[in-house]
Structure 1
């Protein structure tokens, strides 16, 4: 059964905290009698506020700019309310405020799911697995900076094109500690780990569609052979400048 809700927006000045004859501006959202307040990060002279119109007095440039900002804020808040209604979400004053401030699930980002995963998996995953996730996350960050000139993106912005571009980035990326590009299976493993982060986002309800839905992972079959005695001897006598390779040698 659908229920209607009452919704109102009011701009007001907090006259209880006046400093240098100025007071802060706020927006008050009311849904079904429940309120939420948003600081507009603006101040106004107490003599310049019209308490009846809830707008700045006069027609000076400063007043017109402030009133224009208030009109834009009103429209934005009302659109947030309409969007929540269209999405069949529970509409509360706090929900409208969260949507306006972009802190609700609709505005969760890539770094949000990475942070959530790292915290949730702490103590659950072995260090080696955690380290692999950290490496994948590092490549995601590098990819965002190079391709989108941004340190983050909303999860809702991710699509099939994003996944394809990420795969291409991984295949062309040359790691800093050596000059060899990643092999196909290494690329697929990084994508698989990122895919798990996206699946977690879906389970949490942070996104509504899966950007991986049309993506197919393709691994190359590999058969590991055994080293000959002379090959083992050559490795034993070899000294590597790279710490990572030297460690691998010591494990053989």
Structure 2
């Protein structure tokens, strides 16, 4: 069983783009091991509230971005619980790979038809 699991949203101020915005990252910590995931969203560093891990302000853009971050956070928790439920080893890399879809088997059209034909042949 894992001893620690923590999430932290933060802004990478070193990567400011041409609009003066910095990317928002999520840091996942499990048993002292750290992994980072980009949220694919940017914000002006002056608007970021690091204590609350959200954007300060009441505009529609701020509310929308804060809602996105909460939804993203919930998706991470759901994936974490899914790994536990499936009795898989929960590590930062396993959680990150499951979130971004790495390692997922992609089914192409020919194997799908082959599988269907094999099942139909067994029925005959």
**Which residue of the partner structure matches residue 52 of structure 1?**
51
C-alpha distance in structure 2 between counterparts of 1:142 and 1:92, whole Å: 32
- CA RMSD, Structure 1 to Structure 2 (Å): 2.5
Change in Cα spacing, 1:141 to 1:215, as seen in structure 2 (3 Å) is closer
Residue 108 and residue 55 in structure 1: after superposition, are their counterparts in 2 closer, same or farther (change >3 A)?
A: same
1:95 aligns with 2:65: no
Partner of 2:10 in structure 1? Answer: 12
Whole-Å Cα distance in 2 between the matches of residues 142 and 83 of structure 1? 26
Question: Aligned pair count?
Answer: 123
1 CA distance for matches of 2:111 and 2:84? 34
Deviation (angstroms), 1:21 = 2.0
Unmatched 5+ stretches in structure 1: 112-138, 144-161, 168-190, 192-211, 219-252
Q: Which has the higher contact order (CA 8 A, sep 6+)?
A: 2
- Could you state the TM-score of these two structures normalised by the residue count of structure 2? 0.86
Q: Deviation above 4 Å: which 4+ runs of structure 1?
A: none
Alignment of 1:91-130 (within 5 A): 91-104=90-103, 107-111=104-108
5+ residue gaps in structure 2?
none
Larger Rg: 1
In the alignment, the residues of structure 2 paired with residue 23 and residue 37 of structure 1 have an alpha-carbon distance, to the nearest angstrom, of: 15
Higher strand share: 2
Cα distance change on mapping 1:86 and 1:45 into 2, 3 Å: same
Q: Judge conservation of contact 2:11–2:25 (CA < 8 Å) in 1.
A: yes
